Chains A and B, each alone.
Chain A
């Protein structure tokens, strides 16, 4: 299957700082990218859907001003957690779709906000 990478794999930051997470499709062009959040022992919850060159569509209850998503190219999407707080600590996973039935998932980024 296709490969999706995420960087960084783990980040620890102080409360109030901003953190940027990158998601890259390495061997295909991703027309759509998705950002999920997963709390311990919970399922993946979709945060937002982004299409290249257009604004992201956020799920109900997700603050668009706090979780900034940029999908600047067909191989790169970024999620910026602004003014992070301890309750934002979670496992963030991106996925990418080239338009077919399958979404390819990245390895995830573990964010810890102190």
Chain B
């Protein structure tokens, strides 16, 4: 079993749809959970960061962490064509100064 599992998709939605992206993980010691967005041939860009369980909202993006289920989600409301990218979940034991373990990434296309 991989440490972090993420459905690679691809996922295609119409503009304005609500997008739900998910990851599961096996290591209960993970404390820090991130979502990165990666455009083709570019480095990842941090979208959301959550410590431990709970929800966090930033504009159209909401991140949820359920440590009891070892399950994290990213919701994108009112999706836009500019949201088309690969979304990677990542997690670590002790924050940004420690190694990140990434999911495989989900390729999202938002069609106008």
Contact = CB atoms under 8 A, between A and B. Distances in A.
Contacts of A63: none
A66 B41 CA distance: 24
Interface in A86-102: 91, 93, 95, 97, 99-102
Given A42-B104, A105-B43, A97 B96 contact: yes
B105 A101 contact: no
A102 B49 contact: yes
A105 B102 contact: no
Centre residue among B42, B44, B49, B102 by max chain A CB count within 10 A: B44
Contacts of B56: none
Chain B: interface residue count, which band? 20 to 34
- Among B8, B43, B44, the most chain A Cβ lie within 10 Å of the Cβ of B43
Interface string B63-99: 0000000000000000000000000100000011101
Given A43-B105, A100-B95, A1 B42 contact: no
A44 B102 contact: yes
A67 interface: no
Interface string A26-67: 000001101000000111111001000000000000000000
Interface string B20-41: 0000000000001000100001
Contacts of B49: 101-102
23 contacts: A1-B46, A32-B97, A34-B99, A42-B104, A43-B6, A43-B102, A43-B104, A44-B44, A44-B88, A44-B102, A49-B99, A91-B41, A93-B44, A97-B96, A100-B95, A100-B96, A102-B46, A102-B96, A103-B96, A103-B100, A105-B36, A106-B43, A108-B41
